[in-house]
């Protein structure tokens, strides 16, 4: 189900893909949360995690490979990172990735987790 929600967010124009574009959204405060592919390089993962921690954007790692992430987002080639910018059902995606958090999705997405 999460995969379908991610596709809906993309269709609504609420997902930015690609390393540089994601970093720009994180820096600008537009990223509600970031997904990082499981096969992203260590350097890429570190850069994204550091930026997300600094700008207090939740960062979820390793749920899907870059190929699977690209497929869910309707892209032809791999995608190492995606930023969700608030359009579409991003709160449901955040809730699903956070686990069964009973708080409203806006709270779980706005909180910075220590292990992120």
pTM over 0.75: yes
CATH of the domain at 79: 3.30.1330.30
Residue 82 lies in domain: 2-110
Interval 73-108: pLDDT, tens: 888 888 999 999 987 666 777 777 776 443 333 333
- Distance of alpha carbon 40 from alpha carbon 49, whole angstroms: 12
| Residue 24 predicted with pLDDT over 50 | yes
- Residue 115, in any domain of the structure: no
- Residue 106, in any domain of the structure: yes
Strand order from edge to edge, sheet including 81-84 = 15-17, 81-84, 33-36, 59-61
Strands (E), the chain: 15-17, 33-36, 59-61, 81-84
Partners of 36 in the β-ladder:
61, 81
- Residue 70, in any domain of the structure: yes
Can you give the pLDDT at residue 11?
Answer: 84
- Number of other CB atoms surrounding residue 67 within 10 Å: 14
Domain count, the chain: 1
| Residue 8 predicted with pLDDT over 90 | no
The residue among 64 and 114 whose pLDDT is bigger is 64
Interval 45-60: pLDDT, tens: 999 999 999 999 999 8
- Distance of alpha carbon 42 from alpha carbon 32, whole angstroms: 23
């Amino acid at each position: 189900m999460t995969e379908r929600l991610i596709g809906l967010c993309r269709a609504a124009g609420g997902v930015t893909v690609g390393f540089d574009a994601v970093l720009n959204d994180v820096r600008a405060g537009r990223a509600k949360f970031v997904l990082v592919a499981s096969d992203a390089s260590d350097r890429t993962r570190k850069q994204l995690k550091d930026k997300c921690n600094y700008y207090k954007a939740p960062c979820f790692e390793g749920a899907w490979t870059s190929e699977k992430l690209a497929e869910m987002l309707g892209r032809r080639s791999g995608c190492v990172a995606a930023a969700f910018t608030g359009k579409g059902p991003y709160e449901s995606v955040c809730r699903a990735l956070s686990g069964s958090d009973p708080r409203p999705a806006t709270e779980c997405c706005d909180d910075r987790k220590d292990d992120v």
